[in-house]
Structure 1
Amino acid sequence: MNNQVAKKGARRVPKFRRRAEARPDEVLDAALELFIDKGFSATRVEDVAKRAGISKGSVYLYFPSKEALLEGLVRRAVAPVADNVLGILSGFEGDPRPAIEAALCLLAERMNDPKLFAVPKVVMREAVVAPAIAEMYRHEVLDRAIPMVAGLIEQGVADGYLRPVDPELTVRSVVGPILTHMLLAEVFGIVPPGGIDMKALINNHLSILFDGLSLQKGEAP
């Protein structure tokens, strides 16, 4: 009896309402496909509407501009990953290398999702010709992550875990190879023989990075 009541209750949710609740994600999925296929600049809102199977006006109900579509993609895919990474780094005490390793390994794991990986690739392709896109990505991701990583490195140096390095410059050494890997592949078409393997890249990167950050034998902190 209870199961029958529950089933009846479930059927009372109108189909159009369930469809409306899912529609923003459907619009974002359509936008991402087009941004990858045609590029951000060449994609029109009406193209997104057609791909999503709705009217142009319906797209504007959820996203007031094409830029808002890209912002929505960043907030849906990349910002949660940034939150998880920052959660690992926030309040960490002691040798910062395990925290950096855990954060980068989590990043590599999440980047295995093609939909997630596609968003920073689109941003990287379009940021040069559309500065507003770069500014938005910076605000949502980089302005949050860079100061935290720099502070972690600074504390690691002060506590004697790391060599006396410049924290701000070292942050660039932490994230630079990852960005360069994507830039070489997406802008210049230079892809390693095994493809874009973020996990392999980060493992290789960490071995080089930590050798450079570790105190050498007989070196004073």
Structure 2
Amino acid sequence: MPENSRRRRPEARPEEILDAALSVFSEQGFAAARVEDIARAAGLSKGAIYLYFPSKEAMLNGLVERSAGHLAKTAEAMVASGAPRDAETGLRNLLRMLFTSMADPAISAAPRLVFAEAGRFPVIADFYRRQVLEIARGAMRALLEAGVGANVFRPVDADAFMRAVAGPAFAHMALTTTFTLPPDTLTDPADMADALADILLHGLKPRAPAS
């Protein structure tokens, strides 16, 4: 075992292993990555890796929990605290948080890995659905219900609302990172979020001129 690994605090090792796993998964792909490669990148023995994570799937799950999973729980908390008072502001703040967070490669990397590998590894897709999508779905439903209850939003299908709110964040991530198609003008994630919030709230039809 490398000398520096013995000096590390044990509580720091799971994060170091996840950082190494993210690097190896991103470079090699999940299927091709080996635990030996992750151990080497983390400066640990293969046996030391298994003390914290029993498999590659567990490491990817850990990456999901600390990035997209944390993001979903943050969205849930934001909606619970803000939407009952002001659903429109809650929607705008939620979009700003989503776009700003997904612009961070440390957060977007795990979702991009899941999207790339989920078709071949259904267990990974199922974990992401339970730990991220279902939590986000509940938060979006609560936001919509708060807005309808306050007569700020009109009643619409909750799942369509979720896709209309969350979909642009994932599309923006894919266009910017995978397809290298960043926006021409709205380069600040918060500005993009504000523009999309305006479209969601007011639609595309021309507004009547102020009297």
Q: Is 2:108 the partner of 1:117?
A: yes
| 2:35 corresponds to | 45
Q: Is 2:23 the partner of 1:33?
A: yes
> Equivalents in 2 of 1:112, 1:175: separation in Å?
14
Q: Which has the higher contact order (CA 8 A, sep 6+)?
A: 2
In the alignment, structure 2 segments of 5+ residues that lack a partner are none
| Map 1:74-89 → 2, pairs under 5 A | 74-89=64-79
Amino acid in structure 2 at the alignment position of 1:59 = I
Alignment TM-score, normalising by the size of structure 2: 0.82
User: Structure 2 residue aligned with 1:169, among 145, 152, 160?
Assistant: 160
Q: Tell me if the contact between 1:78 and 1:119 (Cα under 8 Å) persists in the aligned partners.
A: yes
Residue-by-residue CA offset, 1:106-125 (whole Å, 9 max, x unaligned): 22333343212212121122
In the alignment, structure 1 segments of 5+ residues that lack a partner are 1-14
How many Å apart are 1:163 and its aligned residue? 2.5
User: Structure 2 residue aligned with 1:157, among 123, 148, 163?
Assistant: 148
How many Å apart are 1:31 and its aligned residue? 0.4
Q: Is 2:135 the partner of 1:144?
A: yes
Alignment TM-score, normalising by the size of structure 1: 0.79
Q: Is 2:44 the partner of 1:54?
A: yes
RMSD: 2.6
Which structure has the larger Rg over C-alpha atoms?
A: 1
Q: Tell me if the contact between 2:103 and 2:173 (Cα under 8 Å) persists in the aligned partners.
A: no
| 1:212 corresponds to | 203
- Sequence identity of aligned pairs in percent? 41
How many Å apart are 1:164 and its aligned residue? 3.2
> Equivalents in 1 of 2:155, 2:107: separation in Å?
36
How many Å apart are 1:81 and its aligned residue? 2.4
